[in-house]
Amino acid sequence: MISAHLPVLQVVIPLIAAPLSVFCRRESMAYYLTLAVSLAALAVSVALLRQVLDQGTLSYALGSWAAPWGIEYRVDAANAIVLLIISGMSTVALPYTRVSIAREIEAHSHVLFYTCYLLCFTGLLGMVITGDAFNAFVFLEISSLSTYVLVALGARQDRRALTAAYTYLIMGTIGATFFVIGVGMLYMMTGTLNMADLAQRIPPIGANRTLVVAFAFIVTGIGLKLALFPMHLWLPNAYAFAPSAVTVFLAATATKAAVYLLLRFLFTVFGTDFHIFGPALTYLLMPLALLAMFAASTVAIFQVDIKRMLAYSSVAQLGYMVLGISLGTLTGLTAAIIHIFNHAVMKGALFMALGAVVYRFGGASIDHMRGLGRLMPWTMAAFVIGGLSLIGVPLTVGFISKWYLIAGSLESGLWPLAVLVVASSLLAVIYIWRVVEAAYLDEPAAGATAGEAPAGLLIPTWIMIGANIYFGIDAGLTTEVAEQAARVLLGGAK
């Protein structure tokens, strides 16, 4: 009985828990509520993934109002893996979050922190599971508004968190409004908001200027949320000044949900037959992805604050994902979807290691990293393995993504792309080596006496590193699901 309602439970459980958490008197109550919700959401995601792998696409009509008049939740392989990433990351990161925010956020704000966390969680899950275009906008805004609050909570450490949150608010709202303009134009031309129905009504209209403008608005709006170069300007400051636990959660989930939304609109709603689909991928997404890979990696090399360095690195990694999308082939899409999972695991681990440094030293600049190889051996070992994964060394999860990207480029006959992917990985070597050199080959700053991070921070970090290595050695499950997701996307809405 419950299994019939799993799609709606995925969203309803965190949604109901969010206002309930406001009534929690103590931080521990709010924490255990959030942890229980996260575990429940994880269980639902795993069950949904299994159902989808067995039965194919699931369709759930909200309130029993049949699509396309009612709102439909549609789960296929592409959704299910992103749902699993979001709920999985949240569950692993929550114990880490509790220890980390004890140092970084005022005690009286902790309960409200968990409320905003649950709202952000709801928004991300809803954005991914919904099959209705306007519903996607609503959940996008729910997740974005709570993210602005979560970023601003870093103001106790550094007041620049407030301006970072404000800039993110302005840019994020413009992006979401562009998205809703595009959806409005699609509604104007087709009379429906349901994604599968749009997919059927758009091809008969043919070449129409309103559809082209709708396409442009939607891609731009989602691109802003995705931090697609050059609309990434909000991301470095937001990640650098937010509390460490918030950066861990956002880096692993928020932009991935936007990548999923881009995939859904490009391949399912507009479809590969849309007359400007090919040119948009080749002449718009591919150059922007290449620019992201190189420009962001180069800027990362010169950053003093390591959190900001990893934020620019995230922009570059998003460039890899968009490059995979712009190839438009099965291998290219598989590469993009695998990288969604792999990047969540890599960046989650790296930001967790950095958060441990912030916990002990109050900051994560290159000066704080000097000599940490001796003072915090486990944390730095985690950072090194995460860094190797970022570069794409074999046996780590980053290698799998790079492999598929290069295979996809060669398959499309674009061998210069393969060369460029390798070249930008070499840029990653430079900025990772900077940190490794400071940690292992430099002396600690005078008076630095803090020891290793507490177990509450180290254990989630090493769970993520374990996932890095495990899925790097045995990538069978992730590649199989990603390939099935790519097949579903290329095959159109079913």
Partner 1 sequence: MTGADFLGLFNYWIVIVLMMLGLYTVVSRGNLVKKIVGLNIFQVSVFLLYISIGKVRGGTAPILTGDPNEVYSNPLPHVLILTAIVVGVATTALGLALVVRIKNAYDSIEEDEIQAADDEMEFGAPADGKDAYGKEKAP
CB 292 within 8 A of CB 319: yes
d(CA 201, CA 206): 10
- 303 phi and psi, to 5 degrees? -80, 140
Region near partner 1 per CB under 8 A, out of 166-174, 254-262, 429-437, 466-474 = 166-174
Which is nearer to partner 1, 134 or 378 (by Cβ)? 134
Touching partner 1, residues 168-187 (CB under 8 A):
169-170, 173-174, 176-177, 180-181, 184, 187
Query: In this complex, which beta carbon is closest to partner 1, that of residue 99 or of residue 269?
Result: 269
Least distance (Å) between residue 114 CB and partner 1: 18
| Closer CB to partner 1, 147 or 331, in the complex | 147
- Compute φ and ψ for 208, nearest 5 degrees: -140, 135
CB 53 within 8 A of CB 150: no
Tell me how far, at minimum, the Cβ of 41 lies from partner 1, in Å.
24
Stretch that binds partner 1, among 3-11, 148-156, 337-345, 486-494 (CB under 8 A): 148-156
Q: Which of 48, 86, 99, 165 binds partner 1 (CB under 8 A)?
A: 165
Site membership for partner 1, residue 163 (CB under 8 A)? yes
- What is the smallest separation between the CB atom of 118 and partner 1, expressed in angstroms? 16
Instruction: Say whether residue 162 binds partner 1 (CB under 8 A).
Output: yes
Query: At its nearest, how many Å lie between partner 1 and the CB of residue 302?
Result: 13
Cβ proximity of 340 and 256 under 8 Å: yes
Q: Is residue 149 involved in binding partner 1 (CB under 8 A)? A: yes
Q: Decide if residue 36 touches partner 1 (CB under 8 A).
A: no
DSSP string, 288-334: HHHHIIIIIHHHHHT-SBHHHHHHHHHHHHHHHHHHHHHH-SHHHHH
* Nearest to partner 1 of 116, 248 (CB atom): 116
Please pick, from the candidates 32, 166, 277, 378, the single residue that binds partner 1 as defined by CB under 8 A: 166
d(CA 201, CA 172): 30
Q: Toward partner 1, which CB reaches closer, 148 or 359?
A: 148
312 binds partner 1 (CB under 8 A): no
The radius of gyration of the chain's CA atoms, rounded to the nearest angstrom, is 21
Q: Please tell me the number of Cα atoms within 13 Å of 208 on its side-chain side.
A: 15
Instruction: Record the tokens describing residue 1, joined without a space.
Output: 């009985």
Tokens read off for 329: 């082939």
Query: Pairing between strand 72-75 and 58-61?
Result: antiparallel
For partner 1, which residue of 5, 50, 160, 494 counts as binding (CB under 8 A)? Answer: 160
Binds partner 1 (CB under 8 A): choice among 5, 26, 50, 159: 159
Number of Cβ within 10 Å of residue 95's Cβ equals 17
Q: How far apart are CA 441 and CA 436, in angstroms?
A: 8
The label of the residue with tokens 């599968």 reads 196
| CA–CA dist 61, 209 (Å, integer) | 32
- Sign of the C-alpha dihedral computed for residues 247, 248, 249 and 253 taken in this order: positive
Window contacting partner 1 (CB under 8 A); options: 13-21, 78-86, 153-161, 405-413: 153-161
| Residue number with CB closer to partner 1 (82 or 161) | 161
Among 73, 113, 148, 215, binds partner 1 (CB under 8 A): 148
448: left (phi over 0), alpha (psi -120 to 50) or beta: beta
Which of the ranges 158-166, 282-290, 375-383, 471-479 carries the binding residues for partner 1, by CB under 8 A? 158-166
**For residues 468 and 396, is the Cβ–Cβ distance under 8 A?**
yes
Q: Which is nearer to partner 1, 152 or 353 (CB)?
A: 152
Q: What are the counts of helices (DSSP H) followed by strands (DSSP E) for the chain?
A: 21, 2
Q: Is 138 in the site for partner 1 (CB under 8 A)?
A: yes
CB of 211 to partner 1, least distance (A): 15
Nearest residue (CB) to partner 1, 145 versus 296: 145
By CB under 8 A, which span of 72-80, 147-155, 221-229, 283-291 interacts with partner 1?
147-155
Comparison of 88 and 182: residue with beta carbon closer to partner 1: 182
Among 40, 109, 134, 282, binds partner 1 (CB under 8 A): 134
DSSP-derived secondary structure letter, 271: -
Nearest Cα to Cα of residue 241 among 384, 98, 113, 105:
105
The amino acid present at 200, given as its one-letter code, is Q
Q: How many residues bind partner 1 (CB under 8 A)?
A: 26
Place of tokens 């861990």: 248
Closest distance between partner 1 and the C-beta of residue 123, in Å?
12
Q: Which is nearer to partner 1, 104 or 483 (CB)?
A: 104
Give the span between the Cα atoms of 451 and 255, in whole angstroms: 34
Q: Which residues bind partner 1 (CB under 8 A)?
A: 134, 137-138, 141, 145, 148-149, 152, 155, 159-160, 162-163, 165-166, 169-170, 173-174, 176-177, 180-181, 184, 187-188
